[in-house]
Amino acid sequence: SWITAISETSDWLPVNDPCNRLLGTGWRIPTSLEYSNVITNGGVPFSSPLKLHNSGYLAWNAGGMVNGRGTTQGNYWSTTSVSATTAFDLYNVGSSMVADNKANSFSLRCLRDALVLSAPSVSDVAFSNMTSVSADVSAAVTPDGGSPVTERGFCWNTTGTPTTADNIVSGGLGVGAFTSTIAGGLVQGSTYYVRAYAINKIGISYSTVNSFKICPAAFSVQHIAGIDGAPVSKVVTYNSVSSTLSGKAVCWITQNLGADQQATVVTDATDASAGWYWQFNRIQGFKNDGTTRTPALSWIAIDETSDWVSANDPCTRLLGSGWRIPTSTEYTNVITNGGIPFTAPLKLHYGGYLSNAGSLLGRNTYGIFWSSSANTSTIATYLQFSSGVSAIYSNIANSKGSAFTLRCLRDAIVIALPSVGQVVVDASSMTGTSAGVSAAVGSDGGASVSDRGFCWNLTGNPTLSDNHITDAATGTGNFAGTITGLTVGPKYYIRAYATNSAGTAYSEGTGFNAVLTSICPDTFNIQHTVGFRGIPVTKAVTYHAVQTSLSGTAQCWITQNLGADHPATSAADATEASAGWYFQFNRSLGYKHDGITRTPVAWSTSISEASDWTLINDPCNIMLGVGWRLPTSTEWSNAHGSPQNWASYADSYNSVLKIHGAGYLSNGYLSTAGSVASRGSEGNYWSCTATSNINASAYEFYSTLNALTGVTKAYGYSVRCLR
């Protein structure tokens, strides 16, 4: 960076004298009086002993551009200030002393009028090849102060301003560059302060203090879709580097959050290097492969005054162990300290962004990275860079609604609870006494997950003090188990848990529960009593049931008609024992028909009412209890639709529901009202959904139809129950 103006009253101080700093042993810049004597004594022509030549200069008002080199002039600073903004220099062409702007950059000649021995000069420390337990450090000694350097090396501590009384590692002797390795007892999280030193017979010199953190060269994270905002599931190996670019020693990841890899060049336009995008102060990340955004949620506008709060920080949630989004001040320091070029340690590149309408823009043209700092209720601060431009901005209108990339840093290791995903209940494995369950652990919170599993109870928010099972494995990733000892009827509340040194987290730590609403029995017995809740005859029935997701979600269905003595033996089973009872729409009264006689005899020839089938009249609920009910029209549509695609009653019978041609009771349109028809060839099953005052939706099938249709409510149709 070029300094365009210097205003200070001081002469050139010895501590800043490059002749002294770079050559030592008493070398210094001449005073204006000494240069005046040079002119008087004829020492300016190139033929004189000093060989002063036209080396040119860098212009203060031209951004440091070089002028006059080899052609017109040479300017040589003296140590003598003239005013706050000017100082004397020797102008060799005119062989004169002139007062020039201090912000010009002129050549230097050095003189020495006495040999002055001093302590050596030591450069600042640089770091490289950092591992989880060590770091290579390098520096240089030059000059030696006029006396041989008998010892050089590095000293360090964790408190600041180390000396040779602290930890040291030798770097040999003499002048020049040297490298050593600091190791032994180093741990992640601590800040290590380092100085180079050099010793000659005059004394010891130290470099300025530099610092570093032990950062993991690589660490793997299991991202799981739906946990902490991860848009997709994948394992990512992140690389990190220790850097003071932000103003102090911290660890930075060297690829975008969610990126499979570090960018290969600054214009890398691949999805794998871009990683994921986030709206300001939102947990949900978005992946964009160049065509499709995942998840394809409705895009939202954001209007709130908050900075990015820690609870929503994706770096913290997805990486754990103290990783966080940088502040605007930290990004400003990165720019000031030259950390933006792709050649710098952070490897920032043009990952693009999602506009405040959710579309992908600027990939391979712009790098835009959120800071954690808000500006207004709709605008926040971000680092943006493109070819030749790097700056902190907050000027995109409604920028909080845009989605930018993220880089993460860590200045301290913070152990947090693990992240635990929602429980999934495996409907296909469910029985009357057990159920298979699965979940996943995302971030381990910065400490190894030592225990994980499932807990459940009947009251809600179960913990380890309730029923629980422990997974045999530990760590992050997917896991599964089987809970047992269940009984038919109650509602079970289930949560996954994971434990590390910070404690135990349950189901993402926010109370998201998987609720097992019904245990599906293989069989269950019901004593039906005539006259009680619409039951037409007295008998004990053993109902069979199956767990299935045919209707769209995992539910329990009976596999015989309500009132049937047993499941049908074939799709064309025409027996009364398999047909069960018939019901008119929104009526709790069931009808038995033996082929000749209907029981009871009373029959409504027409029904006209706007209501769906109400729960109080639902014969499944009334006659079976414990959550049984009629299917909705949507559930019937899902059952016979894709991917089952039932085309005949043979298809519906061959399904797990064993639906068959049980016939129906006529409404009087084609035959005597209330008479049985088409038993063995046609099936008609009510949904609970009305379509008008006189019609309702039912699942029907026969030789030319297999569909959900609207029919007169006064028909007597079969009933299947689910829960």
Following CA atoms 562, 564, 567, 572 in sequence, which dihedral angle do they give, to the nearest 10 degrees?
-100
**For residue 415, which of 374, 452, 443 has the smallest C-alpha distance?**
443
Q: Does the structure show a pLDDT above 50 at 510?
A: no
| Residue 573, both tokens | 């089973």
Mean pLDDT over the full length of the chain? 91
CA torsion, ordered 681, 684, 685, 691, to nearest 10 deg: 160
Averaged pLDDT for residues 388-413? 90
The Cα 290–Cα 308 span in angstroms is 27
Range 97-101, long-range pairs (CB < 8 A, 24+ positions): 97/32, 97/35, 97/36, 97/39, 100/75, 101/6, 101/60, 101/61
Amino acid identity for residue 44 in this structure: V
Mean pLDDT of 567-579: 95
Q: How confident is the model at residue 349 (pLDDT cuts 50, 70, 90)?
A: very high
| Omega before residue 600 within 30° of 0, cis | yes
Closest CA to 632 of 696, 548, 715: 696
Measured distance CA(654)–CA(329) in Å, rounded: 68
- pLDDT bracket for residue 512 (50, 70, 90): very low
Please state, in angstroms and as integers, the Cα–Cα distance from residue 231 to each residue in 184, 272, 290, 291, 478, following that order: 41, 14, 15, 15, 16
Q: Is the pLDDT of residue 622 over 60?
A: yes
Quick: pLDDT tens for 30-73.
999 999 999 999 999 898 999 999 999 999 998 899 999 998 89
* Per-residue pLDDT at 518 exceeds 80: no
Taking the CB of residue 65, how many other CB atoms lie within 10 A of it?
A: 11
Stretch among 45-49, 342-346, 424-428, 628-632 having the lowest mean pLDDT: 424-428
Tell me which of 136-150, 430-444, 628-642 is least confident. 430-444
Nearest CA among 177, 61, 199, 77 for reference residue 125? 177
**Which three-class secondary structure state does DSSP give residue 403?**
strand
Q: Which of 116-130, 146-160, 339-353 has the lowest mean pLDDT?
A: 116-130
Quick one: pLDDT at residue 460? 86
Running DSSP on this structure, what letter comes out for residue 429?
A: G
Q: Is the pLDDT of residue 669 over 80?
A: no
Answer whether residue 493 shows pLDDT above 90. no
Residues 6+ apart with CB under 8 A from 472: none
Q: What are the DSSP E strand ranges found in 442-548?
A: 451-457, 467-470, 477-483, 492-500, 503-506, 514-516, 523-528, 539-548
pLDDT at 628: 92
One-letter identity of residue 409: L
Note the pLDDT of residue 513.
Answer: 32
The rounded distance, in Å, linking the Cα atoms of 170 and 190 is: 22
Measured between alpha carbons, how far is residue 458 from residues 463, 495, 507 in Å? 12, 12, 17
Order of strands, sheet of 590-593, starting from the edge strand that comes earlier in the sequence: 582-583, 590-593, 598-599
On the question of pLDDT at 490 being above 70, the answer is yes
Q: State mean pLDDT over 678-684.
A: 93
CA 693 vs. chain centroid, Å, equals: 52
**Per-residue confidence band for 514, with pLDDT thresholds at 50, 70 and 90:** very low
Residue 230 has what pLDDT? 94
Q: Which residues contact 69 (CB under 8 A, 6 or more apart)?
A: 54, 55, 56
Q: How many CB atoms lie within 10 A of CB 43?
A: 16
In angstroms, rounded to a whole number, what is the distance separating the alpha carbons of residues 488 and 480? 22
Task: Render 654-699 in DSSP notation, one character per residue.
Answer: HSTT-----BEE--SSSSSTT-EE-TTT-EEEEEEEESSSSEEEEE
Note the pLDDT of residue 428: 65
DSSP H stretches of helix in 441-515: none
In this structure, the strands spanning 191-199 and 204-206 are antiparallel
Q: What is the pLDDT of residue 425?
A: 81
User: How far is Cα 235 from Cα 218, in angstroms, rounded to an integer?
Assistant: 13
Distance between CA 559 and CA 706 in Å, rounded? 19
Containing H/E element for 319? helix 314-319
Residue pair 545/721 in contact by the 8 Å Cβ criterion: no
Question: Is the pLDDT confidence value at 645 over 50?
Answer: yes
Residues 6 or more apart whose Cβ sits within 8 Å of residue 94? none
Q: Which residue type does 400 have?
A: K
Predicted confidence band of residue 96 (pLDDT cuts 50, 70, 90): very high
Structure tokens at 577: 């024992």
Three-class SS of residue 49? coil
In angstroms, what CA-CA distances link 525 with 521, 566, 592?
10, 12, 19
Residue with tokens 């605008």: 379
Q: How confident is the model at residue 670 (pLDDT cuts 50, 70, 90)?
A: low
Which residues face 105 on adjacent strands? 58
151-164 pLDDT tens trace: 999 999 999 999 99
Q: What is the pTM of this model?
A: 0.61
The residue assigned the tokens 């000892």 is 485
Q: For residue 371, what are its two tokens?
A: 């800071």
The answer to whether the CB of 360 falls within 8 A of the CB of 293 is yes
Is the pLDDT at 508 greater than 60? The verdict is no
- Other Cβ atoms closer than 10 A to 411: 17
Give the per-residue pLDDT at 83: 97
Report pLDDT for 135: 86
DSSP 401: G
Structural contact between residues 559 and 569, judged by C-beta atoms closer than 8 angstroms:
no
- Give me Rg for the CA atoms of the chain: 41
Which runs of E-coded beta strand occur in 93-243?
Answer: 96-101, 126-128, 134-141, 151-157, 167-170, 176-183, 191-199, 204-206, 210-213, 218-223, 234-243
Count of alpha carbons within 13 Å of 518, Cβ hemisphere only?
21
Q: Give the whole-angstrom CA distance, residue 224 versus residue 317.
A: 12
User: What distance in Å separates the CA atoms of residue 195 and residue 253, rounded to the nearest whole number?
Assistant: 26
Q: Is the pLDDT of residue 427 over 70?
A: no
- Residue 336 backbone dihedrals phi, psi, to 5 degrees: -60, -40
| Terminal-to-terminal C-alpha distance of the chain | 73
E strand map for 559-661: 582-583, 590-593, 598-599
Contact between 630 and 719 under an 8 Å Cβ cutoff? The reply is yes
More confident: 93 or 668: 93
- CA angle 637/643/645 to nearest 5° reads 65
Phi, psi of 620 (to 5 degrees): -65, -45
Separation in Å, CA 366 to CA 258, 316, 354, 388, 674: 18, 25, 11, 11, 75
What are the CA-CA distances from residue 276 to residues 281, 354, 396, 705 (Å)? 15, 10, 20, 49
* pLDDT (average), residues 571-582: 96
The pLDDT score that the predictor gives to residue 519 is 62
